[in-house]
Amino acid sequence: MPAASEPSAQRIRRFRQNLLDWFAHSGRHDLPWQHPATPYRVWVSEVMLQQTQVAVVIPYFQRFMQRFPDVEALAEADQDTVLAHWSGLGYYARARNLHAAAGVLRDQYDCQFPQSLETLQALPGIGRSTAGAILSLGCGFPAAILDGNVKRVLARQFAVEGWPGRSAVLRQLWQLAESHTPEHDCAAFNQAMMDLGATLCLRRNPQCEACPVADGCEARSAGTQHAYPGRKPARRLPVRSTRMLLLESEAGILLQRRPPAGLWGGLWSLPECPAGTDPVDWCREQLGLEVELPAPGQTFRHTFSHFHLDIEPLHASVHGDHGIMECAESVWYNGAARDAHGLAAPVQRLLEQVLAANR
């Protein structure tokens, strides 16, 4: 893989100035985490924006800030409440790390953000780019960032070949990000880089004719914009399957809390009956519940980043006294207090279907 050419000081200055001039009149200046752009608000927005589009994040961010306006409020909340406000955003480890890091900030830093990259990166869930965003966007300190949008802009501008997930490619992109990040106007520059990638330097159909740095773009000059950045090597996702039990009593539908780590860690989910077992016997033996023969629903697929999950819902009524009482690890859910429970997206979908049918 050929190394990207070392940009000259003149090229770097021109790139910065053209980008900042464009940002002044065409950048995004009304995002909710920009008003005010505190380290806390920048941090939460950056974590939410990992793997998630801005339009999806905005309402989640606004609700999150209303409930957890600062580090202390987030640290003092229980994880259930945090996960409930994250439900639907996916990648729930982000929320668990956010909550854990808030506890460290409260206990070790008096709810203040450390002002060094290394210390920030030691906090749960904060990587190099997120730490750079906190320092630059939230504190005004010069620090480079390298999110997905910035990777795409730099890969095209300097024809950096290869998939950014490879360490050699990532190292080149970080070198370019750091050499172009200015000492002054760092917050504006980093926001401009993200905005350029989000609005013009798009993965598909890049708007090169409107790009403020198109003249120096090596990929555009060669007509190879779509070749950068390099794609992740394709692989077939494995398929797993499960049966989710919608066990309904007059009190609601049974939910159980999942283990703190792993798939949907810490969220509330439906009991899962292993394939090949009789669900009536399984409910009696594992849950202490007498249920009628479940009615199977339509199997549907939920896709994660690393596998497909085929879910077969089984709906059954619970007879007699409940073998399971509400406790820390189980609850009868009726939809009345839905904000109190963090639910995985497919579980929420199934619950809403049953509750809507009941209504």
φ, ψ of residue 9 in degrees (nearest 5): -60, -40
Q: From its phi and psi, is residue 245 left (phi > 0), alpha (psi between -120 and 50) or beta? A: beta
- Given a contact cutoff of 8 angstroms between Cβ atoms, the answer to whether 309 and 298 are in contact is no
Among candidate residues 46, 72, 118, 161, the one labeled active-site is 46
CA distance 349 to 43: 29
Q: How far is the C-alpha of 151 from the C-alpha of 180, rounded, in Å?
A: 13
| CB-count exposure of residue 227 (10 Å: 0-12, 13-18, 19+) | middle
Residues in CB range of 232: below 8 A, 6 or more apart? 163, 165
Residue 258: count of CB within 10 angstroms of its CB: 20
Phi/psi-derived region of residue 319, left when phi > 0, alpha when psi is between -120 and 50, beta in every other case: beta
| Neighbour count for residue 340 (Cβ, 10 Å) | 12
**Number of other CB atoms surrounding residue 201 within 10 Å:** 28
Largest pairwise CA distance in the chain: 80
CA–CA separation, 73 and 83 (whole Å):
14
Only one residue has tokens 């004719």, namely 209
End-to-end CA distance of the chain: 61
Q: Is 292 part of the annotated catalytic residue set? A: no
Q: Are 137 and 205 in contact (CB under 8 A)?
A: no
**Distance separating alpha carbons of residues 76 and 354, to the nearest angstrom:** 34
Q: Please list the active-site residues.
A: 46
